[in-house]
Amino acid sequence: MDREEFRAAAHSAIDDILAYFDSVPDRRVLPAVDPGYLRPLIPENPPVESESWDQIQQDVDTKIKPGLTHWQSPNFMAYYPASVTYPSILGEMYSAAFTAPAFNWLCSPACTELETIVMDWVAKSLGLPACFLSTSENLGGGVIQNSASDAIATIMVAARERRVCELVLAEGLKEGTVEFDERKMDLQPRLVALASDQTHSSAAKGALIAGTRFRSVPTRLEDDMAMTASRLREVLEKCEEDRLTPYHLTLTFGTTNTCSVDHFAEIKAVLQERPEWQRIWVHVDAAYAGASLVADEWQYIAKDFAEGVDSFNTNMHKWLLVNFDASVLFVRNRFDLTNALDITPTYLRNPYSDMGTVIDYRNWSISLGRRFRALKIWFVIRSYGLNGMKAHIRKTISLGNTFADLVRGRSDLFEIVTKPAFCLTVFRIKNPEIPNDTSGAVCNKDEVADGITKKVYELINTRGEIFITSTVIDGIYVIRVVSANPMAEEKYVRNAFDIIVRTTEEVLKKKP
Amino acid sequence: MDREEFRAAAHSAIDDILAYFDSVPDRRVLPAVDPGYLRPLIPENPPVESESWDQIQQDVDTKIKPGLTHWQSPNFMAYYPASVTYPSILGEMYSAAFTAPAFNWLCSPACTELETIVMDWVAKSLGLPACFLSTSENLGGGVIQNSASDAIATIMVAARERRVCELVLAEGLKEGTVEFDERKMDLQPRLVALASDQTHSSAAKGALIAGTRFRSVPTRLEDDMAMTASRLREVLEKCEEDRLTPYHLTLTFGTTNTCSVDHFAEIKAVLQERPEWQRIWVHVDAAYAGASLVADEWQYIAKDFAEGVDSFNTNMHKWLLVNFDASVLFVRNRFDLTNALDITPTYLRNPYSDMGTVIDYRNWSISLGRRFRALKIWFVIRSYGLNGMKAHIRKTISLGNTFADLVRGRSDLFEIVTKPAFCLTVFRIKNPEIPNDTSGAVCNKDEVADGITKKVYELINTRGEIFITSTVIDGIYVIRVVSANPMAEEKYVRNAFDIIVRTTEEVLKKKP
């Protein structure tokens, strides 16, 4: 492919991408394919000779597009969104063109420096406390990670190293000695990472990757599935009884199941109760809901992170208009990361890094090389402006409220299970044989309701007009509906609700 | 940015990218900027209102491009290359448009299925043994990772889990019991990962991430810096003496410093000597040189991986025409990965995954979500065809040979230190006071030669006409020159050599 062929191909691809976005609302959100659909459509062996772009683009159209789940569809109301926007695509184009595995400053100064500057922009956009800025006295800063899973695995390792080194130093051993390293190995098996049972599975996976134990703090429907101080204290005390050393705690701002928010202030107070609890690395996982912080009315939440929080993460690729991958991780102390992860051989040394005048992001993550992802974040923030980003958050939250109101309006059929929050409504179909409970008490376990809810959920997804997800919380089977992607509109929310009502009535009618 | 604004912006970006590539050979390969150059050029705060694409694109031109290290420049001869090609950029464009954090099959069937198919294509293109195909009886398969660092951290965790579970099972404990988990924690601190002292630092970092020990096997210039069987046996025996359990061994096909190749066959034979050594996870890190396997004349090397190798990794984003990130990891047994990494909560379950009929790549990596990277690999293989890829490898190897011959032709000035291999020449400037040694013996340590070589190296990079790297091997300071990117041509190789000769003569003249 020569330059003119590329120009033609790229222009054609852009037109095709636009046509794809135009077609998205009318496409079946879940593809009508069975596992293994693609294998028979693709030659068994790679081609020996070059193929033309026309052939390739045609295959994208006829073989790939029919197998996509359309996350940009306004009828996609499952999980949490994964958005893409025009300026973000432009960022990916330039990022590819400027390919450089920017593992140190010299490898591409613009790549490193723009990341530092843009992460400060993001911190300011979210109203994060100043301690997370790269310019802070405490030497905090942000780094772009692939995903929240990578972010949490990275800080789990950093937290493990910080805690175990502290313990060994406290015993009077000297860093760099054989005794020090041996003692670290002795102590490591006693470390345990904590999180609530509603925390995203990446916390348990991060603890596993770091080779440490994991324990979860139970939550209850009465607490809207949030982690509370008293439940955490019970687990901390149990750890002590079992001679385990908690070293990491994941708090969640917007859990995966129900978008609940852990009780930050009271939890931080519990951690002050004992000196050893004060040494626990506190991470706030705001993978989805963190995006709301761009809107001023939510920024009060971030005030809780000014003290007693070591790291904060949100995925701009969920709700904040940047395409995957753009998981932004902020730490209060960059040396917590670099002390754990810096293994610098000769071939990666350069005078600027050695002087500490520049950031080498390879020591802020598991990956050595990295893409130039700051470009797409920069493009999105500039193209939308803060006001455009706020408008997106406010509009989608308002659509979520509309949906929740519709559900409330049919209390004959539906029951809201947890407090609707940040575009998410969690509800179930009522057991028609149980009279309406207007006491405001939490939902009771009910196998009949579970069964009907499951049936409605499965029928809707099988038909594929809209795509929603289900989950089980505190033993109750529920449906989750989220409407937070850039194409979301009221008419789609209303249509989704109509489908749910129709399907519910159909299922209830069929019941013997 | 609406659809028509995007169309215009994208067309303009494509033209700008083409103009950038055209300009690359004439640009100073290393940017003339000092650390911190960018901060004063970018507003301190994110914009409140939307900015136009013209403003953004102009800033890319005036603020970003001057701060790039031009990895695509034919004068870039440092590290190993990081290539980008036209079809690969097209892949990134579609990948962004089709954004879906494809953490399971249902999240975007095309994304998962194309990855499986294209990884089989890659395995076949590289002539890998059939055990690494997704269709193999042993249930092997390939997965796209972000970087070799991620790949090695992932398999280090998988290897740790496999080994420690085996040990605990051998003691008669039952999986899923408290005793089993406790015993795992007891044994883990005795595990040690091994690699040669020439192995990429990601192996040591991977062991650290996994919370295990790391020991390196020394190499010598007499062995061309390769790991040998006898040196490995010594380390294995020492581990036994220290009551440590080796669980992972990284072998390298093309080390970072000198592109040397570990002695696969004899090392595999050593590992057969004891039952416990047979249980070590053997990984072949072919991050750079693995690309050579597309050319038939090198495929004999891959025959050694048919038995006794658990995993193989190469970075297509180095020498194989796909832009970063495209690190392809192949495993012999997919359950080694999924047994270690699968933590599946309710909200990630779907019937297809539960039946095992589809692959959920989230359990093959640290990241949960993933980009649709199979597209760019598919586009590149189809656009080049196998013959185009072979031609690229052969042409660049031939350029490397040309450079090595030029160096040999000036044996009055230069001394080749390790065997030139795969486009890389490693040499030093001779100490002019020592008579020519034509015995063919390996280089001796020589502080004068070290000093001159370092001075020449630094002067060349400061002037920035070409970009090369230096390193220290077996105590000797050397210069590395690689010419393997898609724009490489003989005239640039000859020009680089002329610069090195001129600079050497200049330095030697100045010496008192």
Nearest to A18 among B3, B45, B189 (CB): B3
User: Which numeric CATH code is attached to A100-371?
Assistant: 3.40.640.10
Answer yes or no: is pLDDT of A350 > 70.
Answer: no
Q: What is the ipTM of this complex?
A: 0.97
Report d(CA B218, CA B260) in Å as an integer.
14
Model pLDDT, residue B4: 97
Model pLDDT, residue B356: 63
Answer yes or no: is pLDDT of A408 > 70.
Answer: yes
DSSP code string of A55-105 = HHHHHIIIIIGGG---TTSTTB-SSS-----HHHHHHHHHHHHT----SSG
Q: State the pTM of this model.
A: 0.97
Shortest CA gap B408–chain A (Å): 24
Model pLDDT, residue B438: 66
Report d(CA B489, CA B486) in Å as an integer.
9
The reply to whether CATH 3.40.50.2300 applies to domain A382-510 is no
Partners of B341 on chain A (C-beta within 8 Å) are: 205, 208
pLDDT in tens, B128-169: 999 999 999 999 999 999 999 999 999 999 999 999 999 999
Whether residues A366 and B86 touch (CB distance < 8 A) is answered with: no
Nearest to A50 among B6, B385, B469 (CB): B385
Model pLDDT, residue B318: 97
Burial (CB count <10 Å: 0-12, 13-18, 19+), residue B435: exposed
Answer yes or no: is pLDDT of A1 > 90.
Answer: yes
The reply to whether CATH 3.40.140.80 applies to domain B3-68 is no
| Secondary structure tally for chain A: helices H, strands E | 16, 11
Q: Does residue A485 sit in helix, strand or coil?
A: coil
Report d(CA A403, CA A232) in Å as an integer.
33
pLDDT in tens, A113-134: 999 999 999 999 999 999 999 9
- What's the average pLDDT block by block, 10 residues per block, for chain B (512 residues)? 97 98 96 95 98 98 97 97 97 97 92 97 98 95 97 98 97 94 96 98 97 97 97 98 98 98 98 98 98 98 97 98 97 94 71 70 94 98 98 98 98 96 97 79 91 97 94 96 94 98 96 62
For residue B314, the cross-strand partners are B328
Partners of A382 on chain B (C-beta within 8 Å) are: 46-47, 50-51, 55-56
For residue A469, the cross-strand partners are A480
- Stretch among A98-107, A137-146, B230-239, B415-424 having the lowest mean pLDDT: A98-107
pLDDT in tens, B247-259: 999 999 999 999 9
Model pLDDT, residue B70: 97
Model pLDDT, residue B344: 76
CB B284 within 8 A of CB B251: yes
A436's tokens: 């309406």
Domain spans of chain A?
A: 100-371, 382-510
Q: Does residue A138 sit in helix, strand or coil?
A: coil
Backbone angles phi, psi at A146, to 5 degrees: -65, -50
Answer yes or no: is pLDDT of A221 > 90.
Answer: yes
Q: Across chain A, which distance is largest between two alpha carbons, in Å?
A: 77
pLDDT in tens, A374-395: 999 999 999 999 999 999 999 9
Backbone angles phi, psi at A253, to 5 degrees: -110, 90
Q: Does residue B157 sit in helix, strand or coil?
A: helix
CB A427 within 8 A of CB A452: no
Answer yes or no: is pLDDT of A435 > 80.
Answer: no
* B424-429 and B213-217 strand pairing: unpaired
Model pLDDT, residue A93: 98
Model pLDDT, residue A355: 58
pLDDT in tens, B394-441: 999 999 999 999 999 999 999 999 999 999 999 999 999 987 766 777
Of the candidates A80, A15, A108, A120, the residue with the CA atom closest to the CA atom of residue B369: A80
DSSP code string of B85-129 = -HHHHHHHHHHHHT----SSGGG-HHHHHHHHHHHHHHHHHTT--
Shortest CA gap A76–chain B (Å): 11
Q: What fold does the segment set B100-114+130-371 form as a domain?
A: Aspartate Aminotransferase; domain 2 (3.40.640)
Shortest CA gap B384–chain A (Å): 5
Q: How many CB pairs under 8 A join A and B?
A: 420
Partners of B347 on chain A (C-beta within 8 Å) are: 79, 256-257, 469, 471
pLDDT category at A434 given cuts 50, 70, 90 is confident
CB B301 within 8 A of CB B261: yes
Model pLDDT, residue A102: 87
- Stretch among A235-239, A271-275, A353-357, B296-300 having the lowest mean pLDDT: A353-357
